[in-house]
C-alpha cells in the first residue's frame, strides 16, 4: 500500500521532469507501481522512460512510452496519449529519425488541439521547431518556435517560455545576430534562475560565455562561465552536471586555460562517466590537452578510442570531426599516410553528413507537406461537422465521446410552410432550393438571436429546440419569443432571388408565405445518430406533441400546449387565446392556445 497519495507522487513527477532529475523520476516510477490503477501504471512507465532518456538509454525509454501509450488508449486519456507521442517523437529525434519524429509530434499536437490543451500544444510545437533546427531548416525552426512562444505565454508556462526563448537566442546567434541572441539567452537564464532550474541556468551561462568569446569579449565570457560554474554544486541531476561540465571544459580549452581544464578533470571528471556521449566528450577533451602538451601518442590513443565509440553509435558528424583531429595530429607527427587516410575519411564523412542533412531536410519538408494536407483535411471535416451539429455537440464528438443525453425539460418547435407543395409546382425546379433557403435563413437568424438550437429541416418543415444541448432555465420564454418573431418575420418577408438564377418573375405571382407553428415543452432525449451522415436529433413525447401542435394549427399562427402556456414566466407580455378543446391524435382531448407577443 502506497504511503503517499497519487496526487503527491504526480507532483514529484512534474518536479523531476522540470529539473531533469533522473533519480527522482526513477523513485517516482517505483512508488507508482504500488497503485493498482492503469493511470498510475501508465505514469510509472512515463517516469521511468524520462529517467532512461536522461541517462541516454533511448531504446528502453521508447519501449516504456509505448507501454504507457497503450494504457492511456485503453482508458481513453487523450492528454496522456499526446504526452507519450510527444516523448516518442523526441526519442526519434535523438536517434536521428526525423521523419518518424515529425510524424509522432504532429499526432501529439492534433490530440492536444482536440482537448484544447494550450500548454501541451506549446510544448509539442516547440519540439517540432527543435526537429527542424536539427535538420538545418532554420526558417521552419524559427516559425515553430515563435508559434510555441506565443502558446507558452498564453498558458503561462515560464519554464517553456525560458526554453523556447533560449532556442531562439541560439538561432539568432548562429545566423549572425550574436548580440540579439545573447539578449534572448540572458532572458532565459533569468527565468531559469527564478524557477531554481539550475541545470538549465548553468547551461545558458555556458552558451552565453561561448558566444561572448566568439565576439572577442573574453572578460564577459569568463564572467558568465564563472557564474555558471558556481551553479554546478546545486545540480542534483548527473546528466545536467555532465553536459554543463563539457561546455566549461571546451570553453576553457579553446581559451588556452589548460591548467583549469586539468583541475576540472581531476576534481569533476568522474561526473563525465555518466553516459556514452559524455564519456566520448571527456576523451576528446583529454586528447586535445595531450596535443597541446605534445603528448602525441597518448592523444592518438584517446582520439582513436573516441572514434571507436562514436562509430559504434554511427554518429557520422562526430566521426568526421574526430578524423579531422587525427588528420591534424598525423601532420604534427609527420605521419603522411595517416594524414592522407584521415583526411579522406574526414572529407567522405563530411560530404555524407552534408548530403544526409540535405536528404533529411527534403524528407522533413515532404513530411510536413503531407501532415499539413492532412491537417487541412481534418479542418475541412471539422468545419462541416460544426456546420451540421451544435458546436458543443461537435466538440464532444471530436473528443471521442458518445453523445446521448436526457433533459428533464426542454421546449420544442415545429414549423411547416402552408401550401408550399402547390407553390413548388408552379416555379422552376432549380429555384425551389433557393426559395427554401431564403425562408429558412430568416428562421435561422431569429433562433440564433434567442439562443435556440436548430435541429433539422425536412422538406418544407423546420424543427428547433430550446434547453438542448445546453440546459436553459428560461427555455420556454426563449422559444415563445423565437416562434412568434418567426411568424411576424415570415408575414413581412419580401422574397428576393439571386439574379444568376435567370428569370425569377414568378416571385410576384406566388402568394404570401405563411407557416403553421406548434410549440410544447417537456422531457426529451437528444443525441447524435448515423455514422456516414451524422445528425443531432431529439426524441420523446414532447417532440410528438409539438409536432401535433403544428399539424393541427393554422397558417400564420403559433399553437401552444397547456403545459407550454403554464411554463411562461410572465404572462403579461403575451396574448394567449384559448381554443375549443379538441382531440389530438395519440393524446386524446387537449386544451391548446394561440400565442402571440403583445
pLDDT for 68-84, tens place per residue?
999 999 998 999 999 99
User: Does 281 fall in a domain?
Assistant: no
Q: What percent of the chain has pLDDT over 70?
A: 90
Task: Please name which of 123, 172, 130, 128 lies closest in space to residue 149, comparing C-alpha atoms.
Answer: 123
**pLDDT at residue 49 tops 50:** yes
Tell me which residue range forms the domain holding 532. 398-597
Per-chain mean pLDDT for the chain: 86
pLDDT given at position 445: 94
Write out the three cell numbers for 521.
415543452
pLDDT given at position 532: 63
Instruction: Rank 377-381, 423-427, 584-588 by mean pLDDT and report only the highest.
Output: 584-588
> CA 171 to CA 71: how far, in whole Å?
38
User: Does 31 fall in a domain?
Assistant: no
**pLDDT at residue 239 tops 80:** no
Write out the three cell numbers for 91.
526519442
- Give the pLDDT band (50/70/90) at residue 362: low
More confident residue, 401 or 200: 200
Would you give the distance in Å from CA 511 to the centre of its chain?
54
Q: Any residues with CB less than 8 A from the CB of 114 and at least 6 apart, and which?
A: 78, 398, 399
pLDDT given at position 507: 64
User: Does 481 fall in a domain?
Assistant: yes
pLDDT given at position 355: 62
Count the Cβ atoms, other than its own, within 10 Å of residue 122.
25
152 to each of 121, 140, 442, how far by Cα in Å? 9, 18, 43
Widest pairwise Cα distance in the chain: 118
pLDDT given at position 297: 95
**pLDDT at residue 58 tops 50:** yes
User: Does 52 fall in a domain?
Assistant: no
- Give the pLDDT band (50/70/90) at residue 47: very high
> CA 168 to CA 184: how far, in whole Å?
7
> CA 264 to CA 281: how far, in whole Å?
14
**pLDDT at residue 357 tops 60:** no
Average pLDDT over residues 458-462: 89
pLDDT given at position 568: 93
The CATH number of whichever domain residue 549 belongs to comes to 3.30.70.1230
Quote the Cα angle for 351-92-310, to 5°.
50
**pLDDT at residue 272 tops 90:** no
pLDDT given at position 538: 92
User: Does 352 fall in a domain?
Assistant: no
Phi, psi of 456, rounded to the nearest 5 degrees: -170, 165
> CA 108 to CA 227: how far, in whole Å?
37
Average pLDDT over residues 456-485: 93
Q: Residues 592, 561: contact at Cβ < 8 Å?
A: yes
Torsion sign, CA atoms 489, 492, 497, 498:
negative
**pLDDT at residue 384 tops 70:** no
Helices (H), 55-177: 58-75, 78-94, 98-114, 118-134, 138-155, 158-174
560: which strand partners? 519, 593
Using N-to-C axis directions, what is the helix angle for 336-388 and 138-155, rounded to 10°? 50
Buried-exposed string 334-370: b where 16+ CB fall within 10 A, e elsewhere = ebeebbeebbebbeebbeebeeebeebbeebeebbee
Q: Residues 579, 591: contact at Cβ < 8 Å?
A: yes
User: Does 251 fall in a domain?
Assistant: no
- Pairing mode of beta strands 515-529, 404-417: antiparallel
What is the DSSP-derived secondary structure letter of residue 577? E
More confident residue, 532 or 87: 87
User: Does 242 fall in a domain?
Assistant: no
pLDDT given at position 146: 93
Number of domains in the chain: 1
Would you give the distance in Å from CA 434 to the centre of its chain?
40
Average pLDDT over residues 112-119: 91
Q: What is the 3-state secondary structure (H, E, C) of 154-220?
A: HHCCHHHHHHHHHHHHHHHHHCCCHHHHHHHHHHHHHHHHHCCCHHHHHHHHHHHHHHHHHCCCHHH
Burial classification of residue 571, based on how many CB atoms lie within 10 Å of its CB (0-12 exposed, 13-18 middle, 19 or more buried): exposed
**pLDDT at residue 432 tops 60:** yes
Task: Please name the residue that has the C-alpha cell 558528424.
Answer: 317
Write out the three cell numbers for 258.
589548460
Q: What is the pLDDT of residues 507-516, one digit of tens each?
A: 666 667 789 9
Helices (H) and strands (E) in the chain, counts: 24, 10
User: Does 135 fall in a domain?
Assistant: no
**pLDDT at residue 1 tops 50:** no
Amino acid at each position: 500500500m502506497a504511503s503517499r497519495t497519487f496526487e503527491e507522487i504526480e507532483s514529484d513527477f512534474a518536479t523531476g521532469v522540470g529539473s531533469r532529475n533522473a533519480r527522482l523520476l526513477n523513485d517516482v516510477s517505483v512508488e507508482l507501481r504500488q497503485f493498482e490503477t492503469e493511470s498510475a501504471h501508465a505514469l510509472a512507465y512515463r517516469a521511468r522512460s524520462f529517467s532512461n532518456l536522461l541517462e541516454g538509454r533511448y531504446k528502453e525509454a521508447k519501449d516504456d512510452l509505448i507501454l504507457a501509450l497503450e494504457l492511456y488508449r485503453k482508458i481513453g486519456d487523450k492528454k496522456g496519449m499526446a504526452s507519450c507521442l510527444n516523448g516518442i517523437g523526441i526519442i526519434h529525434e535523438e536517434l536521428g529519425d526525423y521523419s518518424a519524429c515529425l510524424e509522432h509530434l504532429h499526432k501529439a499536437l492534433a490530440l492536444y488541439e482536440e482537448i484544447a490543451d494550450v500548454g501541451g500544444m506549446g510544448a509539442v510545437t516547440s519540439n517540432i521547431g527543435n526537429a527542424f533546427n536539427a535538420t538545418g531548416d532554420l526558417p521552419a525552426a524559427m516559425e515553430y518556435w515563435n508559434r510555441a512562444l506565443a502558446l507558452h505565454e498564453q498558458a503561462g508556462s515560464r519554464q517553456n517560455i525560458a526554453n523556447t526563448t533560449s532556442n531562439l537566442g541560439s538561432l539568432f546567434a548562429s545566423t549572425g545576430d550574436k548580440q540579439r541572441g545573447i539578449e534572448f539567452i540572458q532572458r532565459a537564464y533569468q527565468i531559469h534562475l527564478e524557477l531554481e532550474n539550475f541545470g538549465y541556468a548553468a547551461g545558458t551561462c555556458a552558451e552565453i560565455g561561448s558566444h561572448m568569446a566568439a565576439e572577442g569579449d573574453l572578460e564577459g565570457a569568463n564572467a558568465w562561465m564563472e557564474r555558471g560554474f558556481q551553479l554546478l554544486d546545486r545540480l542534483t541531476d548527473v546528466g545536467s552536471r555532465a553536459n554543463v561540465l563539457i561546455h566549461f571544459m571546451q570553453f576553457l580549452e579553446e581559451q588556452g586555460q589548460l591548467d583549469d581544464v586539468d583541475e576540472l578533470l581531476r576534481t569533476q571528471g568522474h561526473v563525465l562517466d555518466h553516459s556514452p556521449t559524455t564519456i566520448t566528450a571527456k576523451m576528446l577533451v583529454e586528447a586535445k590537452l595531450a596535443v597541446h602538451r605534445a603528448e602525441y601518442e597518448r592523444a592518438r590513443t584517446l582520439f582513436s578510442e573516441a572514434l571507436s565509440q562514436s562509430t559504434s553509435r554511427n554518429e557520422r558528424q562526430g566521426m568526421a570531426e574526430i578524423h579531422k583531429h587525427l588528420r591534424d595530429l598525423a601532420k604534427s607527427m609527420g605521419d603522411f599516410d595517416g594524414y592522407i587516410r584521415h583526411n579522406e575519411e574526414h572529407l567522405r564523412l563530411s560530404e555524407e553528413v552534408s548530403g544526409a542533412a540535405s536528404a533529411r531536410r527534403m524528407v522533413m519538408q515532404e513530411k510536413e507537406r503531407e501532415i499539413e494536407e492532412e491537417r487541412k483535411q481534418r479542418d475541412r471535416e471539422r468545419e462541416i461537422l460544426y456546420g451540421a451539429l451544435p458546436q458543443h455537440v461537435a466538440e464532444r464528438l471530436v473528443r471521442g465521446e458518445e453523445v446521448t443525453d436526457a433533459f428533464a425539460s426542454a421546449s420544442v418547435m415545429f414549423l411547416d410552410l402552408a401550401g408550399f407543395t402547390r407553390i413548388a409546382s408552379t416555379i422552376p425546379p432549380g429555384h425551389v432550393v433557393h426559395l427554401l433557403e431564403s425562408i429558412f435563413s430568416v428562421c435561422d437568424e431569429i433562433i440564433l438571436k434567442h439562443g435556440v438550437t436548430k435541429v433539422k429541416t425536412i422538406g418544407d418543415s423546420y424543427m428547433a429546440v430550446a434547453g438542448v444541448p445546453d440546459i436553459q432555465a428560461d427555455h420556454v420564454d426563449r422559444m415563445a419569443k423565437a416562434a412568434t418573431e418567426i411568424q411576424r418575420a415570415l408575414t413581412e418577408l419580401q422574397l428576393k432571388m439571386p439574379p444568376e438564377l435567370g428569370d425569377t418573375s414568378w416571385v410576384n405571382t406566388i402568394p404570401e408565405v405563411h407557416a403553421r407553428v406548434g410549440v410544447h415543452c417537456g422531457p426529451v432525449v437528444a443525441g447524435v445518430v448515423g455514422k456516414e451522415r451524422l445528425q443531432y436529433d431529439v426524441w420523446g413525447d414532447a417532440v410528438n406533441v409539438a409536432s401535433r401542435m403544428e399539424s393541427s394549427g393554422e397558417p400564420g399562427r403559433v399553437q401552444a400546449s397547456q403545459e407550454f402556456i403554464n411554463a411562461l414566466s410572465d404572462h403579461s407580455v403575451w396574448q394567449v387565446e384559448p381554443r375549443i378543446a379538441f382531440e389530438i391524435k395519440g393524446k386524446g382531448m387537449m386544451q391548446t392556445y394561440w400565442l402571440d407577443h403583445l
